[in-house]
């Protein structure tokens, strides 16, 4: 794959959902998402691939072997489809590559593999499918990897239907408006059974590869345990200009303390904690807030450290609320235990790629959800600045082309 070929296909989706901040707003079931789904369908059609949208809104493009090559469908799982792909959705004003790079690279890797099969006469022995999982970021409805978690039964369909976005639109309403049926949401064991392996290519988030010699592509070893908690601080709304300081029960104070406490507990325990989203009621300049809601994102190299961060954070924030005369409720939104990727598959891929670096990540992925069900691996494409979930996210066309070559080699190794 050459960088020009990568850039040509990349430029087809690059404008979709780009905001004037230079970041991307590609929320699931939004117009941008529907445009990306239409692009996905067109790419699949161009390649004669069959498109299916599953009951949870995840899209799949299938490349089936010629009938005479189809192995016995009842054969052990290792003959199941080799799934690749990623997600289209973004965090608000996120980067261009997180998600879409895995889908664009998958279509280009299929092209490369097809050219290779024509040239060598080799044949496809297992189906190859490209997935576009929905709501991976949880950027609209709050639960990350929602589409893959629904498919695997890790999230309850009723809970999902009722999830709301910042405008109060439920997932069910958003799906109906897009012509999808929310009543169909639910586990999809039959589809899972058809998958024999999942390999997700993703832009690196962080910059470990930058120090790894000349490696444009790395292989994931694990995903750190991580989770999200909702922090609701309730106080007493009042007038900013007439309420004496000692008489205040200001939830903003408890919230401000919570932001600092998250950072301190993470530093002490050796992990990461972030409060990047907050909503105040009534959110008025001249009123003391009555309620402040914030979301904590915490991640750590192991469960013990994550637990330390959470227990330290909870006890310190509750203590502070007592001093402020406010009330705080901290509830878990989602939590992902450590994901160790399939060792055999990981080492096979690293060797196939000439000894590619193997590294853990603190970022969550659909691969982290599927890893509990099928042999799963991840490829990371070097991110020279490490920036992600922000407009500055970038990978060079040359490294992205190297990622396509690596993915094509992996698909050939697993499916032919
Ligand atoms: O939040 C994450 O870790 C991922 O990028 N969705
Ligand atoms: Mn992602
Ligand atoms: Mn992301
Ligand atoms: Mn007034």
CATH code, domain carrying 318: 3.30.70.360
Per-residue pLDDT, averaged over 317-335, amounts to: 97
Does residue 77 have a pLDDT over 50?
no
Q: What percent of the chain has pLDDT over 90?
A: 94
- Do 309 and 237 sit in the same domain of this protein? yes
- Do 328 and 370 sit in the same domain of this protein? no
Does residue 76 have a pLDDT over 80?
no
Q: How confident is the model over 6-25, as pLDDT tens digits?
A: 999 999 999 999 999 999 99
Per-residue pLDDT, averaged over 123-142, amounts to: 96
> Model confidence at 78, in pLDDT bands (50, 70, 90)?
low
Return the residue matching tokens 């004003």. Answer: 93
Indicate the pTM of the whole model. 0.95
Per-residue pLDDT, averaged over 44-72, amounts to: 87
- Do 51 and 175 sit in the same domain of this protein? yes
Q: How confident is the model over 338-391, as pLDDT tens digits?
A: 999 999 999 999 999 999 999 999 999 999 999 999 999 999 999 999 999 999
- ipTM at complex level: 0.89
**DSSP character string of 212-235:** STT-SEEEEEEE--EEEEEEEEE-
Number of domains in the chain: 2
End-to-end CA distance of the chain: 19
Asked whether the beta carbons of 281 and 236 are under 8 A apart, the reply is: no
pLDDT value, residue 210: 87
Beta strands in 322-388 (DSSP E): 327-336, 339-340, 358-361, 376-381
Annotated binding site: 87, 98, 137, 202, 228, 286, 299, 389
pLDDT value, residue 214: 81
- Domain termination residue (choose one: 315, 336, 357): 336
- Do 260 and 175 sit in the same domain of this protein? no
Ligand 2: centre distance to CA 91 (Å): 9
Give the tokens for residue 193. Answer: 């059974």
Annotated binding site for allantoate: 228, 286, 299
Per-residue pLDDT, averaged over 403-408, amounts to: 98
pLDDT value, residue 26: 98
- Do 169 and 52 sit in the same domain of this protein? yes
Please give the DSSP secondary-structure letter assigned to residue 49: P
Per-residue pLDDT, averaged over 305-320, amounts to: 98
* Among the listed residues 117, 203, 237, the one whose alpha carbon sits nearest the alpha carbon of residue 404: 203
Average pLDDT score, the chain: 96
- Do 188 and 274 sit in the same domain of this protein? no
Q: How confident is the model over 154-190, as pLDDT tens digits?
A: 999 999 999 999 999 999 999 999 999 999 999 999 9
Does residue 276 have a pLDDT over 90?
yes
With b for 16 or more beta-carbon neighbours within 10 A and e for fewer, the 357-386 pattern comes to bebbbbbbbbbbbbbebbbbbbbbbbbeee
Q: Left if phi > 0, otherwise alpha if psi is -120 to 50, otherwise beta: which for 88?
A: alpha
Does residue 273 have a pLDDT over 60?
yes
**DSSP character string of 231-283:** EEEE---EETTTS-GGG---HHHHHHHHHHHHHHHHHHHTSEEEEEEEEEES-
- Do 281 and 384 sit in the same domain of this protein? no
Asked whether the beta carbons of 124 and 413 are under 8 A apart, the reply is: no
Q: How far is CA 288 from CA 243, 280, 323, 339, in A?
A: 9, 10, 17, 43
Return the residue matching tokens 């493009």. Answer: 61
- Do 368 and 311 sit in the same domain of this protein? no
- Do 91 and 111 sit in the same domain of this protein? yes
- Do 86 and 25 sit in the same domain of this protein? yes
Cβ of 20: how many Cβ atoms within 10 Å? 6
- Domain termination residue (choose one: 320, 336, 352): 336
pLDDT value, residue 71: 52
Q: How far is CA 90 from CA 135, 138, 175, 192, in A?
A: 8, 9, 17, 25
- Domain termination residue (choose one: 308, 336, 364): 336
- Do 24 and 98 sit in the same domain of this protein? yes
| Atom in ligand 1 nearest the alpha carbon of residue 226 | 3
Q: Is the peptide bond before 86 cis (omega within 30 degrees of 0)?
A: no
Within 8 A by CB and 6+ apart from 74, the residues are none
Residue 74's CATH number: 3.40.630.10
> For a substitution probing ligand 1, which of 137, 147, 200, 387 has the most ligand atoms within 8 Å of its CB?
137
* Among the listed residues 337, 351, 57, the one whose alpha carbon sits nearest the alpha carbon of residue 176: 57
- What's the domain range around 332? 226-336
- Do 245 and 180 sit in the same domain of this protein? no
Ligand 3: centre distance to CA 409 (Å): 25
Residues in contact with ligand 1 by the CB-under-6-Å rule are 98, 136-137, 144, 363-364
Tell me the helix, strand and coil percentages in the chain, rounded to 5.
40, 25, 40
């Amino acid at each position: 794959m050459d960088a020009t070929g990568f850039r040509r296909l990349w430029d087809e989706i690059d404008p979709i959902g780009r905001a004037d901040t230079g970041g991307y707003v590609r929320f699931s079931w939004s117009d941008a998402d529907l445009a990306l789904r239409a692009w996905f369908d067109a790419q699949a059609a161009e390649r004669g691939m069959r498109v299916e949208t599953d009951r949870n809104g995840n899209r799949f493009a299938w490349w089936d072997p010629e009938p005479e090559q189809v192995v016995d469908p009842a054969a052990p799982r290792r003959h199941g489809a080799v799934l690749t792909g990623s997600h289209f959705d973004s965090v608000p004003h996120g980067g261009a590559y997180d998600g879409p790079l895995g889908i664009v690279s998958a279509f280009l890797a299929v092209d490369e593999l097809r050219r290779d099969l024509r040239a060598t006469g080799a044949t496809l022995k297992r189906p190859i499918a490209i997935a576009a999982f929905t709501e991976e970021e949880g950027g609209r409805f709050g639960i990350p990897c929602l589409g893959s978690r629904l498919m695997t039964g890790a999230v309850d369909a009723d809970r999902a239907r009722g999830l709301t976005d910042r405008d109060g639109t439920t997932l069910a309403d958003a799906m109906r408006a897009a012509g999808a049926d929310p009543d169909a949401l639910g586990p999809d064991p039959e589809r899972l059974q058809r998958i024999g392996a999942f390999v997700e290519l993703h832009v690196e988030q962080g910059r470990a590869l930058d120090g790894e010699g000349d490696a444009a592509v790395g292989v994931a070893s694990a995903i750190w345990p991580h989770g999200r908690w909702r922090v609701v601080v309730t106080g007493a709304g009042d007038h900013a200009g007439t309420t004496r300081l000692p008489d205040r029960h200001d939830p903003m104070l408890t919230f401000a303390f919570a932001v600092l406490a998250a950072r301190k507990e993470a530093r002490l325990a050796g992990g990461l904690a972030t409060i990047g989203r907050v909503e105040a009621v009534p959110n008025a300049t001249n009123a003391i807030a009555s309620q402040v809601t914030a979301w904590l994102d915490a991640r750590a190299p192991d469960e013990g450290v994550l637990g330390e961060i959470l227990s330290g954070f909870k006890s310190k924030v509750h203590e502070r609320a007592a001093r402020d005369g406010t009330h705080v409720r901290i509830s878990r939104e989602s939590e992902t235990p450590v994901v160790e990727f399939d060792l055999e598959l990981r080492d096979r891929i690293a060797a196939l790629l000439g000894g590619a670096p193997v590294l853990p990540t603190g970022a969550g992925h659909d691969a982290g959800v599927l890893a509990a069900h099928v042999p799963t691996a991840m490829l990371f494409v070097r991110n020279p600045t490490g920036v992600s979930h922000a407009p500055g996210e970038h990978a060079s066309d040359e490294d992205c082309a190297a990622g396509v070559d690596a993915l094509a080699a992996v698909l050939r190794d697993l499916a032919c």
